[in-house]
Copies of this chain bind each other. A is one copy, B any other.
Amino acid sequence: MAIQLQRTATDNVGIPLSREGGYTQPSLQVLSCQTCNTRSNCVVKQLNLTRVQSYQPVKNRRVLSKGSHVFRGGDEAKAIYVVSRGSIKSYMLMEDGEEQVLNFYMPGDVFGLEAMGGGGHISSTVTLETTTVCMLPMSKLRDRVLGQNFLNVISTNLLRDHNQMLMLARKDAEGRLASFILDMLKRVDREHGSDNAIKLTMTRQDIANYLGQAIETVCRTLRKFQDGGILKVTRRTVEIYDYDGLLKIAGSQIAR
């Protein structure tokens, strides 16, 4: 149906990093950590105050009207965020133009971590109501964490989980299995140097369980793929004949 993201009047935000700057965007207010009444240990507050003794109030809280985007897929990762008040929906735009909801963030929730690896945001986040968001600039984060490598590891793990959620939520039996096989083809050791054969190390039961299906469904789908000339299954060895065909069946994937 609605193939395009509806851009309303309050849409298209992006929270500015800098103190002022000529950003024209619907942040209703700009606040500092000082006025935040969160009692618990806040990451933003913690990372802002420790070791960096800037007593001047850093303006890192924004009040956003309903429907505002904090960031969009493709945006550079400028910060990680915390919901102070309100609620946020995170989603991905699939290649068919439909959106897939990944998460809802409530007060206290931290989001935007998947982009810490440096590849930019893959998902988008939009407010569901008037919402206050705090931000921790990536620059401060990178200084204080043991290197980009660690951030990469974390975001890789998060992205992979998102991919899995996405698969379970959107795809049918064939799509799930195709995704799984493609994923393994990327990650698993090739069978004796062969470029298109993989040796699965897990049981059908494990695969079925992972894909949220009955074991019989996995078997039948494999057979269907084989009958269709897409691949050949011999015990736990899978030889792929039609890579593009698999890609088509699998549908959208998170790139990284």
Contacts and interface: CB of A to CB of B under 8 A. Distances in A.
B212 A153 contact: no
Contact of A202 (B111, B128, B170, B188): B128
Contacts of A106: 184, 187-189
B110 A206 contact: no
A202 B108 CA distance: 18
Contact of A209 (B168, B169, B206): B169
A189 B89 contact: no
B157 A50 contact: no
B147 A46 contact: yes
Of A109, A184, A188, A212, chain B has the most CB atoms within 10 Å of the CB of A212
Contacts of A157: 110-111, 113, 158
B107 A189 contact: yes
Contact of A128 (B86, B147, B201, B211): B201
A154 interface: yes
A69 to B, nearest CB: 15
B161 A211 contact: no
Interface of A: 41, 43, 46-47, 50, 86-87, 89, 91, 99-104, 106-111, 113, 128-129, 141, 144-147, 149-150, 153-154, 156-158, 160-162, 164-165, 168-170, 184, 187-189, 201-202, 206, 209-212
